[in-house]
Amino acid sequence: MSLAHFHVEASCGEARAGELRTAHGVIKTPIFMPVGTVGSVKALSPADLVEIGAPIILGNTYHLYLRPGDELIAKMGGLHKFASLPMSILTDSGGFQVFSLSSLRKITNDGVEFRSHIDGSKHFFTPTKVIDIQLNLGSDILMPLDECVPYGADYNYTAKSLRLTHMWAKSSLEYFREREAKTLLFGIVQGGFFADLRRQAIEELAGHDFAGLAIGGLSVGESKAQMHEFLSLTASYLPKTKPRYLMGVGTPLDLVLGIANGIDMFDCVLPTRNARNGTLYTSMGKINIKRQEYAKSSEPLDPECSCYTCQTFSRSYLRHLFVSHELLALRLNSLHNLTYYLKLVRDARAAIVTGTYQSYLAKIMQLYPEEAAQVDNQI
């Protein structure tokens, strides 16, 4: 299975170990992308990201367009230079953010009019404008404008929305070709929670030369079981030759189950957001560092972790920082959680290569029994 920019090196069941090439390096997949919404992963420096081995991060078109502005970033040499980010960057189109502003936006065939959440100013995103913004940012992987329908939307609304998303996708791809961009443009699979619409979406997108396909519209309010049901269903329709990206999902268990279904790329704010709230992921499972039981613990957070946090500080000190509201707690916790996520996908890749992925999946499921119980019938 090979394209000029992507090839699958090994598989174990549906799980794949691949290699994705961009202008800023080679990305071994499966991979987790830390979320740097405004060109910064919260609490961490670019040097931190390099140190923990993050080959790609995610930025957001909507937020960077509003502040500081894509034209300013272009004048500064693009987001890589502006933010001193040496790794690859994928930018979300901003569609999810725009459509979450339900009371502040209006959808037309030409695009979407919205008001800034910052100052209320009026803006209009078209498929071509969203491509222009991302090219100004210098993104390695671009996403087209799409509509992420709300959970609970009925069939007629979802079908109408899907037609609009596909019209925008086609316009985006045609314009992207005209710009002769040396980057990658992925398509986005929508279709809500209707199997025939998901399949229709993939058949439509697979007929065009998108560099990869992303699954959107999941983890938007549905149950965990329903999310994994539609993830498995959607993934089964995807072409095997292109990289597959699951947008905005999720927990460690979500990742390993997604990988079992052939997903190659993930992003989610969860590891950094939870780090800032004191919830940390370890080789023994999830812990809340503010609990009293850690007040006098001289143990490292995770004896099996190689990150600076675990190699340097005790659980007692990490708890002290957190309950004292010290800013260092945010950095150390975030550093650890992202190290955990990146190790999770690296270990998954190694298990795929050695043909032991099912054993690896079972091991991770044991760490999160309550969550695993919610999706047991989907495995």
H helices, E strands: number in the chain = 16, 16
Residue 156 placed within a domain? yes
What's at 103, amino acid-wise? S
Residue 35 placed within a domain? yes
Side-chain-side CA neighbours of residue 114 (13 Å)? 22
First vs last C-alpha separation in the chain? 25
Residue 109 placed within a domain? yes
Q: What percent of the chain has pLDDT over 90?
A: 92
Measuring CA to CA, how many Å separate 19 from each of 80, 197, 244, 357, 358? 21, 30, 12, 18, 21
Residues 260, 294: one domain?
no
Q: State the pairing for strand pair 184-189/212-215.
A: parallel
Residues 261, 352: one domain?
no
Residues 228, 351: one domain?
no
Give the predicted TM-score (pTM) of the model: 0.97
Average pLDDT over residues 174-196: 97
Residue 312 placed within a domain? yes
Q: Is a pLDDT exceeding 60 seen at residue 32?
A: yes
* Cβ–Cβ under 8 Å, residues 79 and 138: yes
pLDDT at 379: 59
Radius of gyration of the chain (CA): 20
Residue 115 placed within a domain? yes
Residues 180, 201: one domain?
yes
Q: What percent of the chain has pLDDT over 70?
A: 99
With cut-offs at 50, 70 and 90, classify the pLDDT of residue 2.
low
Residues 201, 129: one domain?
yes
Q: Is a pLDDT exceeding 60 seen at residue 3?
A: yes
Residue 1 placed within a domain? no
**DSSP 3-state assignment of 29?**
strand
* Cβ–Cβ under 8 Å, residues 173 and 209: yes
Smallest Cα–Cα separation from 316: which of 332, 339, 291, 298? 298
With cut-offs at 50, 70 and 90, classify the pLDDT of residue 378.
low
Mean confidence (pLDDT) of the chain = 96
Average pLDDT over residues 150-169: 96
Q: How many domains does the chain have?
A: 2
Of 243, 274, 305, at which residue does a domain stop?
274
With cut-offs at 50, 70 and 90, classify the pLDDT of residue 141.
very high
pLDDT at 200: 98
Residues 192, 322: one domain?
no
| Residue 325 lies in domain | 276-378
The dihedral sign for the CA sequence 275, 318, 56, 114: positive
Catalytic one among 70, 92, 140, 302? 92
Backbone dihedral angles phi then psi of residue 138, each to the nearest 5 degrees: 80, 30
What's at 17, amino acid-wise? A
Residue 27 placed within a domain? yes
209 is catalytic: no
**Greater pLDDT, 303 or 106:** 303
Catalytic one among 146, 254, 264, 267? 267
Residues linked to residue 288 through DSSP beta bridges, in sequence order: 279
Residue identified by tokens 């052939």 is 262
**Greater pLDDT, 82 or 114:** 82
Of 274, 309, 334, at which residue does a domain stop?
274
Q: How many CB atoms lie within 10 A of CB 316?
A: 15
Task: Report residue 243 CA to chain centroid gap.
Answer: 13
pLDDT at 96: 80
pLDDT at 1: 46
Residues 142, 206: one domain?
yes
Strand residue runs (E) in the chain = 6-12, 15-22, 25-29, 31-33, 56-60, 88-92, 105-108, 111-115, 122-125, 141-142, 184-189, 212-215, 244-246, 265-267, 279-282, 285-288
pLDDT at 376: 72
With cut-offs at 50, 70 and 90, classify the pLDDT of residue 105.
confident
- Find the CATH number of the domain harbouring 206: 3.20.20.105
Residues 130, 104: one domain?
yes
Average pLDDT over residues 213-228: 96
**Greater pLDDT, 278 or 95:** 278
DSSP string, 249-304: B--HHHHHHHHHTT--EEE-SHHHHHHHTTEEEETTEEEETTSGGGTT--SBS-TT
Residues 354, 320: one domain?
yes
Average pLDDT over residues 199-226: 96
92 is catalytic: yes
Of 224, 248, 274, at which residue does a domain stop?
274
Residues 198, 290: one domain?
no
Reported as a single tens digit per residue, the pLDDT across 241-265 is 999 999 999 999 999 999 999 999 9
Residues 258, 320: one domain?
no
Residues 72, 112: one domain?
yes
Residue 327 placed within a domain? yes
Q: Is a pLDDT exceeding 80 seen at residue 166?
A: yes
With cut-offs at 50, 70 and 90, classify the pLDDT of residue 81.
very high
